[in-house]
Structure 1
Amino acid sequence: MKTITWITPDYFLQVDLPILFQLKKYYQIKWIVYAQPNSDKEKTAKEYAQKHNIDINFFHIRGHRYSPLSYSQYCKQMQILKEYNSDIYYFNIIGFPYLLFAIKKYIPHNKIIMTMHHGKIHKGMQLRYLYKYYLRYLGKQDFNFQYFSKSQAKYFNGEKEKCHVIPLALNDFGHSDKVPSKDVITFLSFGHIIETKNIGLLIQAAEEVKKYCNLPFKVKIVGHCRNWEPYQQLIKHPDIFDLQIKSIPDSDIPDLFATAHYLVLPYKSVTQSGPLRIAYGYNIPVIASDLEGFKESIINNTTGLLFKANDITSLATLMQKVIENPQIYDIIKSKQEKYINDNISEKVIINKYINMFNCIK
């Protein structure tokens, strides 16, 4: 049985939780989690490891990971990993800027799989002007690489035979017995509210629908926002909005998605979307901008519906259409379920990981 040292930071925890316990059936896994001591993320990882009998160890960096002082800490940690002498080192972590150099110094290059969550740099990324050069440099390393979408993998500048594409696994936060209302169509927006998520477009589109549609509908917006006031000023009809402008516990997610008819993703730019994977996990149809990153993962009229990006009228027209034709919800929901089972089910994803790991000799 191959041995894998699997590295996960707290910010990618939800990426790995759906698959680790399944892969443990085929590999001996040593799990390293970067998390702040006594944090909720550390607690989540510890409970998961205990539940599934996974060998786990915790690392953390004192100070900011962008500080040059982090390099010496990373080196000490990579020395520890080197001693494990695993067959595979799977780094689902952003190595920018200093971790990569510690990895190169201590871990054999032919044993490394580095995940690539971005290929194309988008406007919302921190230090994006430096990060694009980091990605170019990283792609030239003699590692194996895993992307999560073909649309991002096409920007890979390294050896093509070392580039693997495996979609994100679907997130499951638990079961819910609740169902959407039969009387009111609910559109859900979920996640941190930042400029690139374009929530203002959703608000404006809902206001347009209100002008011309007499049927009841609700727009539920849930997520943390540093400055909500500019969005609040766009709201003219508070009765059509259900606002929870705050972070919510994971335990609230099942009911939140189970009671929605559509997840709405009006993004200006995207590489991948966590809320999309949650929606697929709960078989919720998706309405999204027709961005390149969405066209690959959302099959129009099958798993969801696409509208012209950054176009209020296009989104409003689509929202009004599904309100006035409630049968669309059932049709998309049925098609989505079949597509997921055939293409991105747990079994399909796990087999892709096994095939990738078999490439490491």
Structure 2
Amino acid sequence: MVINYITYDSWWDTDITIIPELVKEYHLNVFVLSPFDNCKYPQKEIGRNVKLVHVHQKYRDRDLRSIGTAIKYFFKIYKECRRKDYINIFIPGKNPFFIILTLLFLSKKRTIICSHNYIEHGDTKFRGSKLVDFLKERFYQSFKWFHFYSKMQMDLFKKDYPSKNAFFTEMPLKDFGIAPIIEKKGNEVTLLFFGLIRDYKQLDLLIKAVNNLENPNLKVIIAGKATKEEQEKYLSLIKDKSIYELNFEFIPNENIPTIFSKADFLVLPYRSATQSGPSLIAINYSVPIIASDIVPFSDMVEDGVNGFLFESNNCEALTAVLKKVLMLNEEDISCLRRNQSKYREDYIRNNDICKLFQQFINDKILYQI
């Protein structure tokens, strides 16, 4: 059985964690449409047993000149669909011309639509155009098989489309290599805010909560790409810059283990989320999490066991948690780490992605072909 994994560069950081799971049982052709000349992850990083096909999209999604790219990309995929033993896993992007081609010609019986966000969240500027939203609605109506990366998103979809066949898997943990052992500085507690900085992640809430603390024995690491305007906004909020380590640039993968090894806690003060890459990195490296009490964080953090939860959008509640954290001794934090390590083991054991895909393909799709 061959799987044609059809995706876009914007989802590539996520896909790179899924592919090693699927290749355990299937031959994979991975198709990536990207605005860059070179693929973000080259062949050597995704494995020799995977055929990688990268197509460069030179123009913007809705530029009429991208029609040629959409046709080129589609026919590279279509050639692999002429065989008898294939399944498509398709992550819809925002090129309307390619979406139209797939709606017209991609097999409805052999295609799983893989949706990261059925209901969008966060910054509206990252949402699709009205045309793309309309075409995605046609996807949900036309195709038969659907996969989601959270139960919450699947349940929202099933509420609108109760007759559709859908399943979900949790995202794989994100492992970027062995974390070095870094010696702590006395009883200082290190908080980490990590990842692409966006308004809905509410870095300002964390900064304001830290400002509320009096003479904290605290270090705050902020590591993630931000625009110049965003940098100025957050820098203007900081009261004591001496306790901050700031890096507003893109963080290379090879630097991630060191950053997380410095942290006692990852802080996620988001007001909305569907999945969270930083939380999956923290779990992988057994770093306890401080997070707002929204799904999915309330599903992965047991308050006081492997981290702490606070009321979403409530600066006073976050301040109270930080005060509690500063009262912890070394053994308390080690206990939280051990519990996070146990959660990591359970998470991996209960989330066999390849097995769940295989079960859905065998029981649902192949049964009806």
Task: With the length of structure 2 as denominator, give the TM-score of the two structures.
Answer: 0.87
Say if 1:61 and 1:246 are closer, same or farther in 2 by CA, change over 3 A: same
Say if 1:162 and 1:347 are closer, same or farther in 2 by CA, change over 3 A: closer
Asked if residue 190 in structure 1 is aligned to residue 186 in structure 2, the reply is no
Letter of the 2:223 partner, please give it. V
Say if 1:304 and 1:119 are closer, same or farther in 2 by CA, change over 3 A: farther
Asked if residue 276 in structure 1 is aligned to residue 279 in structure 2, the reply is yes
Which of 226, 230, 234 is the aligned partner of 1:231?
234
Letter of the 2:260 partner, please give it. F
**Is the contact between residue 35 and residue 60 of structure 1 (CA under 8 Å) also seen in structure 2?**
yes
Output one character per residue of 1:101-151: Cα deviation in whole Å (capped at 9) or x when no partner: 211222111111111111223241334673665554332122311111111
Say if 1:274 and 1:93 are closer, same or farther in 2 by CA, change over 3 A: farther
Question: Which residue of 2 is the match for residue 304 of structure 1?
Answer: 307
Cα separation, 2, equivalents of 1:142 and 1:8: 17
Question: Which residue of 1 is the match for residue 93 of structure 2?
Answer: 94
Say if 1:11 and 1:43 are closer, same or farther in 2 by CA, change over 3 A: closer
Which of 37, 42, 46 is the aligned partner of 1:45?
42
Correspondence list, 1:196-207, <5 A: 196-207=200-211
Post-superposition offset of 1:68: 4.2
Output one character per residue of 1:79-112: Cα deviation in whole Å (capped at 9) or x when no partner: 3312212521111342563432211222111111
Output one character per residue of 1:309-356: Cα deviation in whole Å (capped at 9) or x when no partner: 111111111011112113442233222222222234596233223223
Post-superposition offset of 1:205: 0.5
Letter of the 1:81 partner, please give it. I
Post-superposition offset of 1:300: 3.3
Cα separation, 1, equivalents of 2:351 and 2:199: 36
**Is the contact between residue 268 and residue 290 of structure 2 (CA under 8 Å) also seen in structure 1?**
yes
Post-superposition offset of 1:10: 2.1
Say if 1:55 and 1:132 are closer, same or farther in 2 by CA, change over 3 A: closer
* Paired residue total: 354
Asked if residue 337 in structure 1 is aligned to residue 345 in structure 2, the reply is no
Cα separation, 2, equivalents of 1:9 and 1:128: 14
Describe the SS at the equivalent of 2:193: strand
Range moving further from structure 2, 251-260 or 67-76: 67-76
Cα separation, 1, equivalents of 2:305 and 2:135: 37
Post-superposition offset of 1:9: 2.1
Letter of the 1:235 partner, please give it. I
Letter of the 1:75 partner, please give it. I
Which of 280, 286, 289 is the aligned partner of 1:286?
289
Describe the SS at the equivalent of 1:338: helix
Say if 1:92 and 1:45 are closer, same or farther in 2 by CA, change over 3 A: farther
Question: Which residue of 2 is the match for residue 354 of structure 1?
Answer: 358
Cα separation, 2, equivalents of 1:328 and 1:129: 49
Say if 1:140 and 1:180 are closer, same or farther in 2 by CA, change over 3 A: farther
Describe the SS at the equivalent of 2:345: helix
Cα separation, 2, equivalents of 1:106 and 1:276: 38
Letter of the 1:24 partner, please give it. V
Cα separation, 1, equivalents of 2:94 and 2:73: 13
Say if 1:170 and 1:287 are closer, same or farther in 2 by CA, change over 3 A: same
Asked if residue 8 in structure 1 is aligned to residue 4 in structure 2, the reply is no
Say if 1:356 and 1:66 are closer, same or farther in 2 by CA, change over 3 A: farther
Say if 1:134 and 1:295 are closer, same or farther in 2 by CA, change over 3 A: farther
Say if 1:300 and 1:128 are closer, same or farther in 2 by CA, change over 3 A: farther
Asked if residue 55 in structure 1 is aligned to residue 51 in structure 2, the reply is yes
Describe the SS at the equivalent of 1:341: helix
Identity of aligned residues (%): 26
Cα separation, 1, equivalents of 2:349 and 2:97: 35
Cα separation, 2, equivalents of 1:96 and 1:290: 35
Question: Which residue of 2 is the match for residue 145 of structure 1?
Answer: 146
Task: With the length of structure 1 as denominator, give the TM-score of the two structures.
Answer: 0.89
Cα separation, 1, equivalents of 2:99 and 2:305: 40
Letter of the 2:74 partner, please give it. M
Say if 1:343 and 1:109 are closer, same or farther in 2 by CA, change over 3 A: same
Asked if residue 64 in structure 1 is aligned to residue 60 in structure 2, the reply is yes
**Is the contact between residue 27 and residue 49 of structure 2 (CA under 8 Å) also seen in structure 1?**
no
Question: Which residue of 2 is the match for residue 26 of structure 1?
Answer: 25
Correspondence list, 1:146-165, <5 A: 146-156=147-157, 157-165=160-168
Cα separation, 1, equivalents of 2:149 and 2:306: 18
Output one character per residue of 1:125-184: Cα deviation in whole Å (capped at 9) or x when no partner: 334673665554332122311111111112212245511111111111111222462531
Say if 1:71 and 1:328 are closer, same or farther in 2 by CA, change over 3 A: farther
**Unpaired runs of 5+ in structure 1?**
none
Post-superposition offset of 1:287: 0.8
Cα separation, 1, equivalents of 2:221 and 2:344: 25
Cα separation, 2, equivalents of 1:75 and 1:132: 21
Letter of the 1:54 partner, please give it. V
Describe the SS at the equivalent of 1:31: strand
Which of 168, 178, 181 is the aligned partner of 1:178?
181
